[in-house]
A and B are shown apart, each in its own frame.
Chain A
């Protein structure tokens, strides 16, 4: 397994085991957690909508790119869908390699591309009772604000 979307809590230990290899001296893990604040708002919970057919196809492509580009042995990425509570793991990337350098680089590559290429959307529910779709880093770079997108 290289990439999957899960509607159940992520078992980080099981994913680490999936990339274990006697040839590897390095394991790099990135976990994306649900935090209690974003852009000055207090977040209560989060909801991920995923278009699975394309997310899975594109997710596997990203992992394959990382394997081709960096000297790593294994890489797995799992992304959650559905309603998540604070401190839940939203996404995990595990990369094993003979040496730490390529493992760090590949892990960064995978999470950065997962954030901008996968058809996944995040709705934040705030403690105020308001909820809003969150825009990605691409939009921020394009000079758009989150609220601006919703209202423009």
Chain B
């Protein structure tokens, strides 16, 4: 299946790109992050990182569907 991955803030700098299209067998958001971290060694999983799927906040154990846009958010720091 194909999904679109988008990186923000620190993750964007670590991945070296804003977004990319990924072809993979499927799985959860956490598994996708792990796969992307293997491709971008600077990209590290962080305890307070958040994930959104198609502009809805989600959980890391959510299963992805073909065509999903997956947003990887490093720990947020508003205010």
Contact B77 A54 (CB under 8 A): no
* B48: chain A residues within 8 A (beta carbon): 135-136, 138-139, 142, 144
Contact A91 B78 (CB under 8 A): yes
> Taking chain B's interface residues, is the majority helix, strand, or loop, or is none over half, making it mixed?
loop
The residues in B between 10 and 47 inclusive whose CB is less than 8 angstroms from any CB of A are 10, 13, 44, 46-47
Cα separation A133 to B11 with both chains bound (whole Å): 10
Contact B8 A135 (CB under 8 A): no
| Chain B contact patch, size range | 20 to 34
Contact B76 A120 (CB under 8 A): yes
The verdict on B63 contacting chain A, using a C-beta distance below 8 Å, is no
A136-B48, A139-B47, A139-B48 as given contacts; A51 in contact with B8, CB under 8 Å: yes
* A91: chain B residues within 8 A (beta carbon): 78-79
The verdict on A99 contacting chain B, using a C-beta distance below 8 Å, is no
A142-B48, A144-B46 as given contacts; A133 in contact with B76, CB under 8 Å: no
Q: Can you list, as one digit per residue, whether each of A43-65 has a CB less than 8 Å from chain B (1) or not (0)?
A: 00000110101110110000000
The verdict on A83 contacting chain B, using a C-beta distance below 8 Å, is no
A54-B55, A139-B47 as given contacts; A134 in contact with B77, CB under 8 Å: yes
> Taking chain A's interface residues, is the majority helix, strand, or loop, or is none over half, making it mixed?
mixed
A51-B71, A54-B55, A150-B10 as given contacts; A121 in contact with B44, CB under 8 Å: no
Contact B46 A115 (CB under 8 A): no
The verdict on B9 contacting chain A, using a C-beta distance below 8 Å, is yes
Residue of A nearest to B44 (CB): A152
Q: Can you list, as one digit per residue, whether each of B54-79 has a CB less than 8 Å from chain A (1) or not (0)?
A: 01110000000000000101111111
Can you spell out 19 A-B residue pairs with CB atoms less than 8 angstroms apart? Answer: A49-B8, A51-B71, A53-B55, A58-B57, A114-B78, A115-B76, A115-B79, A119-B73, A120-B77, A120-B79, A121-B76, A123-B9, A133-B9, A133-B10, A135-B75, A138-B48, A138-B75, A139-B75, A144-B48
Q: Which residues of B contact A (CB under 8 A)?
A: 8-10, 13, 44, 46-48, 50, 52, 55-57, 71, 73-79
The 7 closest A-B pairs by CB, nearest first: A120-B78, A121-B9, A136-B77, A115-B79, A133-B10, A138-B48, A122-B77
